[in-house]
Structure 1
Amino acid sequence: MQVIPAKTPDFVKSLFPNLVWNITTNNKELYLTFDDGPTPEITVWVLDILRQYNAKATFFCIGNNIEKHPKLFSKVIDQGHAIGNHTFNHLKGWRHTTKNYIKDVVRTESLIDSFHTDHSENYRKFFRPPYGKFKVKQSKKLQELGYNIIMWDVLSYDWDSSIKAEDCLKNVISSAKAGSIVVFHDSIKAYKNLQYTLPEVLEYYTTRGYTFKALY
């Protein structure tokens, strides 16, 4: 059941202007993002589909999954996709102290950092809060630590088993436009809907002249 709208309302964005909701661009570009991986088989399938469309994306990874599947995580990086931090234990910020929340994020960042060979001034730290929920104090502390906090313009709702795959597709194509940051999940829970929706989204926007880019 969709409680939060698929398209983030402008008034919500205006309440939190220091968070990134979309990318300002005059070009036909979409920014696909994938949360909760890396997940064996599913992330591999996502990478294969993206490659077919010469598409780049940003993967917001859970530290625990990186630790369990290091070769798969390396594959995401090797194929030119951007990486974001999604905490180590998929924490809901409202339920944790700022100290413990930040500790969990930093643990994941240390793990991510051990895989990166590019430490140039162009390297940027991306973070997305699980469930989109965290405290203002946590947000401010993360920004002090140099994180770009990435929210979203469009939710596919691929993780929701009560939503039909066709509705997930509709959520995206009825809302995403140039510069939109779109949320998918390379997770077991989302896989059924993702299998249908992702190829359809890639095909729909490709035929309309769009390209798919990683955050930068």
Structure 2
Amino acid sequence: MYLIKTPWLLKKLYPQLIWNMNRERRVIYLTFDDGPIPVVTPFVLETLKKYNAKATFFCIGDNISKHPDIYQQLIADGHAIGNHTYNHLKGWETDDNTYVQNFQKASDLMLTSLFRPPYGRIKRSQIRQLKALQPDLRIIMWDVLSGDFDTTLKPANCLKGVLKYTSNGAIVVFHDSLKAFERLEYVLPRALEEWAKAGFEFAIL
């Protein structure tokens, strides 16, 4: 069970996390979780390039270690990088010490002040410890969850939901993962086309 549009109450309960950006600007903040990996991440890079779009990639440290060439391409293309832990840990099911160490292991591979907790699951105690470790850390959540990871979701319905709920200042989550690729491959170019026609710009966080 997941919600495409993040409810206002959740944003209010966790005001120390970043859910969306300036609503007065006609800008969309595209984000991609779980890469970098072969095939899928290069597809995303090529598609973004066609629309002169920049995005923020929340990378798993283990994937950076396995695919350093793709990671370097992200940087070369001018995209922003965020930490997504080294092993995609779910904060609610992980003790704080292990979680912070896994964050730090990933942090050693990338220079970034951005972090997104895998699954969007993080304890308040983990938030405090991460910010104590890195005071400039910005913990990025999302305004719109594409649902591209949902293997039961038809690509056309995935696109419909993304277009319906994305508005000024939205932080939108996609996944450069094999699990999401069938929907991502369909949705990303079509969404970019529609947003570009509507006059949106695409910026990094």
TM-score by length of 2: 0.97
What's the CA shift for 1:191?
Answer: 0.3
Query: Is this contact kept in 2: 1:35–1:86, CA < 8 A?
Result: yes
Match of 1:97 in 2: 95
Given candidates 186, 191, 198, the residue that maps to 2:176 is 186
Q: List structure 1 runs of 4+ shifted beyond 4 angstroms.
A: none
Match of 1:37 in 2: 35
Structure 1 CA distance for aligned equivalents of residues 39 and 31 of structure 2: 18
Match of 2:25 in 1: 27
Structure 2 CA distance for aligned equivalents of residues 30 and 41 of structure 1: 25
What's the CA shift for 1:179?
Answer: 0.3
Given candidates 116, 125, 133, the residue that maps to 1:137 is 125
TM-score by length of 1: 0.92
Describe how 1:73-92 pairs up with structure 2 within 5 A: 73-92=71-90
- 1:168 and 2:168 aligned: no
Structure 1 CA distance for aligned equivalents of residues 11 and 58 of structure 2: 20
How big is each residue's C-alpha offset from its partner over 1:164-195, in whole Å with a ceiling of 9 and x where there is no partner?
A: 11111112111010100000000000000000
Q: Which runs of 5+ in 1 are unaligned?
A: 114-123
Find the residue that maps to 1:174 and give its secondary structure. Answer: helix
Structure 2 CA distance for aligned equivalents of residues 72 and 156 of structure 1: 23
Structure 1 CA distance for aligned equivalents of residues 2 and 180 of structure 2: 17
Find the residue that maps to 2:20 and give its secondary structure. Answer: coil
Partner letter of residue 214 of structure 1?
A: I
Match of 2:114 in 1: 126
How big is each residue's C-alpha offset from its partner over 1:18-52, in whole Å with a ceiling of 9 and x where there is no partner?
A: 10000014221000000000010110010000000
Q: Which runs of 5+ in 2 are unaligned?
A: none
Given candidates 2, 12, 15, the residue that maps to 2:13 is 15
Match of 1:121 in 2: none
Given candidates 138, 145, 156, the residue that maps to 1:148 is 138
Partner letter of residue 93 of structure 1?
A: G
How big is each residue's C-alpha offset from its partner over 1:92-146, in whole Å with a ceiling of 9 and x where there is no partner?
A: 1111111110000011011113xxxxxxxxxx51000101111110011112223
What's the CA shift for 1:204?
Answer: 0.6
Structure 1 CA distance for aligned equivalents of residues 157 and 119 of structure 2: 20
Find the residue that maps to 1:76 and give its secondary structure. Answer: helix
How big is each residue's C-alpha offset from its partner over 1:76-102, in whole Å with a ceiling of 9 and x where there is no partner?
A: 011000000000000011111111100
